[in-house]
């Protein structure tokens, strides 16, 4: 699939999603992107506080709320330990349903943010990369089935989100695929918690390990960027 064909596919899909073809020519991000981005950060911070204060909660609303930042495209919140815990204390079907609701909300927010972002004119050069062209050629054969399969399987999901957003896959189909993929995944995770007596401290440790892995990568990179900016400012001074 050539670059012109990829762009035509993106335009066609964008038209079906209602105005996404405009994103192909965007040179800046609209207010919806910044609003959703801000909400993602706010929800993530609030959820962090809830995790530290009340991890023992069996509230379905809390589970739905947690599932939003846990399923955004860029997230440091693992959903697996939390679903396993809820399987120990809650109804399996309700736990899966509320977690899926939060995931659907996250899917809408992701779509509103990353479709315009990945189709900005000044960063769309990645679409000419050979690896991307091969990946998108394969993805476009069965986009809905691919999203469902990879969303259900225990593999990194972000690369497939990237492909879907890069071609402006319609929001309705995107959210539908998420629901079809994630509901059975969440049910099985909750069933695991209901079947196998996994201690709570093990689940908390899993969450802590995930956070630590991100911090190990993020802190040195942040320090490196701060030093580079400081040196640049000093040189200018």
Residue by residue, pLDDT tens for the chain (237 residues) are 444 444 545 444 444 344 444 444 455 555 666 666 666 667 666 665 665 555 455 578 888 888 888 888 777 778 888 888 888 888 899 999 999 999 999 999 899 888 888 888 777 788 888 999 999 999 999 999 999 999 999 888 989 999 999 999 999 999 999 999 999 999 999 999 999 887 777 777 776 676 666 566 656 665 666 666 656 656 655
Burial of 95 (0-12, 13-18, 19+ CB in 10 A): buried
The predicted model scores a pTM of 0.70
Judgement on whether residues 111 and 214 belong to the same structural domain of the protein: no
| Residue 44 domain boundaries | 3-198
**Coil vs helix vs strand at 199:** coil
Judgement on whether residues 150 and 112 belong to the same structural domain of the protein: yes
Judgement on whether residues 69 and 144 belong to the same structural domain of the protein: yes
Judgement on whether residues 71 and 166 belong to the same structural domain of the protein: yes
Judgement on whether residues 87 and 165 belong to the same structural domain of the protein: yes
Buried b (16+ CB within 10 A) or exposed e, 75-94: bbbebbbbbbbbbbebebee
Judgement on whether residues 161 and 231 belong to the same structural domain of the protein: no
Judgement on whether residues 69 and 171 belong to the same structural domain of the protein: yes
Judgement on whether residues 23 and 79 belong to the same structural domain of the protein: yes
Judgement on whether residues 144 and 237 belong to the same structural domain of the protein: no
224 vs 190: CA distance, rounded Å: 41
Q: Please tell me the total count of domains within the chain.
A: 2
Judgement on whether residues 116 and 229 belong to the same structural domain of the protein: no
């Amino acid at each position: 699939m050539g670059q012109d064909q990829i762009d035509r596919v993106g335009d066609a899909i964008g038209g079906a999603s209602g105005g996404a073809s405009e994103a192909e020519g965007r040179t800046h991000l609209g207010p919806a992107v910044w609003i959703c981005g801000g909400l993602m950060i706010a929800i993530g911070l609030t959820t962090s506080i809830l995790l530290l204060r009340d991890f023992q909660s069996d509230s379905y609303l809390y589970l739905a709320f947690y599932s939003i930042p846990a399923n955004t495209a860029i997230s440091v919140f693992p959903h697996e330990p939390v679903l396993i815990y809820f399987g120990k204390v809650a109804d399996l079907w309700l736990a899966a349903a509320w977690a899926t609701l939060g995931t659907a909300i996250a899917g809408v927010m992701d779509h509103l943010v990353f479709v315009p972002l990945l189709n900005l004119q000044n960063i769309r050069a990645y679409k000419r990369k050979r690896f991307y062209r091969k990946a998108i050629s394969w993805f476009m054969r069965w986009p809905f089935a691919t999203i469902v399969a990879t969303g259900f399987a225990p593999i990194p999901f972000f690369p497939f989100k990237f492909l879907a957003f890069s071609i402006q896959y319609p929001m309705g189909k995107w959210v539908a695929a998420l629901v079809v993929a994630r509901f059975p995944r969440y049910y099985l995770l909750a069933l695991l918690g209901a079947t196998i007596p996994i201690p709570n401290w093990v689940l908390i440790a899993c969450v802590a390990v995930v956070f630590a892995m991100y911090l190990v990568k993020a802190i040195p990179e942040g320090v490196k960027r701060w030093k580079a900016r400081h040196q640049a400012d000093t040189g200018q001074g």
